[in-house]
Amino acid sequence: MQVQTNQSLSVDCAVFGFDGETLKVLLIERPAYNALDRLKLPGSMILENETLPEAAYRVLEEATGLRQRDLYLRQMEIFSDPKRVEGDELAWIRQRHNIHTERVVTVGYYALLKLNGRLIDYTRSKGAQWVEVDRIQRLAMDHKAILTAGLGYLCREMQQSPVAFELLPRKFTIRALQRLFEAVLGIEIDNRNFRKKMLSSGFLQPTGEKEQGVAHKPAEYYTFDRNAYRKALKAKLRMGFIDNWRY
């Protein structure tokens, strides 16, 4: 075993969106090459003058047109198995970038954004597509494993902080919020308990507006009150450190 210099570093992003019913992830179709899987996560080698987060934001802007301020992006784990890219996949990378790399280590990121018609049109124009997470069987290289890790992070984070609202439009119904939790956590949640819990949290602000043109009884729209949340959090942290231990 020895030190190697002909290795490369890349970023790969699991970008999640929610359409009101199902959780979706952004996939890129790459040109056919041998019998390799066509669909992959958006990603890139890092360029010589950029840091890893800069590379990740660049990849996301290329795929979605969104800037840093409009995205929730977090680094997750690093995929450094020496055999994660080999054989035809390594040949594809060498050919695509015209480099003689022997090994590619990739840093996984996950991103959350607000899915809407304009965004879907944009990504489609870039050759990308939004695919329901539950329907994905295989992806290029180890991208299925990266997606699974991203889902794990999202699942944990949604139970620890209000990231759910990064995936919802500014105004949303409690039903949409519940559907999002159900889609991500893979569980069924009792309607009445969920509604009661969310309304009693003090973090949801009624807008007075209701759904229009729906077959069922129109539901009210709410917004997330980030200031109320921050205040409550501050008060909780003041209670003292041992009460906040959680893992």
Write out the residues near a copy of itself by the rule CB under 8 A: 1-9, 45-53, 75, 77-78, 80-82, 97, 99-103, 105, 107, 158-162, 181, 197-198, 201, 203, 229, 233, 236-237, 240-242, 244-247
**Minimum CB distance to a copy of itself smaller for 128 or for 184:** 184
SS3 state at 209: strand
Q: What is the Cα–Cα distance from 175 to 15, expressed in whole angstroms?
A: 23
What is the DSSP annotation of 136-170? ----STTHHHHHHHHHHHHHHHHHHSSGGGGSS-S
**Minimum CB distance to a copy of itself smaller for 215 or for 245:** 245
Torsion sign across C-alpha atoms 76, 148, 67, 159: negative
Nearest approach, Cβ of 124 to a copy of itself (angstroms)?
27
Given a contact cutoff of 8 angstroms between Cβ atoms, the answer to whether 54 and 13 are in contact is: no
Q: What is the Cα–Cα distance from 21 to 24, expressed in whole angstroms?
A: 10
Nearest approach, Cβ of 40 to a copy of itself (angstroms)?
17
Nearest approach, Cβ of 164 to a copy of itself (angstroms)?
10
Nearest approach, Cβ of 211 to a copy of itself (angstroms)?
23
Nearest approach, Cβ of 149 to a copy of itself (angstroms)?
13
**Minimum CB distance to a copy of itself smaller for 48 or for 121:** 48
Strand partners, 103: 7
Q: Nearest-CA neighbor of 129 among 234, 228, 210, 38?
A: 38
Nearest approach, Cβ of 35 to a copy of itself (angstroms)?
25
Q: What is the Cα–Cα distance from 138 to 145, expressed in whole angstroms?
A: 10
Other Cβ atoms within 10 Å of 201 Cβ, number: 13
**Minimum CB distance to a copy of itself smaller for 124 or for 236:** 236
**Minimum CB distance to a copy of itself smaller for 120 or for 189:** 189
Nearest approach, Cβ of 202 to a copy of itself (angstroms)?
10
**Minimum CB distance to a copy of itself smaller for 116 or for 193:** 193
Q: What is the Cα–Cα distance from 149 to 76, expressed in whole angstroms?
A: 8
Cα 210 from chain centroid? 29
Q: What is the Cα–Cα distance from 203 to 223, expressed in whole angstroms?
A: 8
**Minimum CB distance to a copy of itself smaller for 84 or for 126:** 84
Strand partners, 111: 15, 73
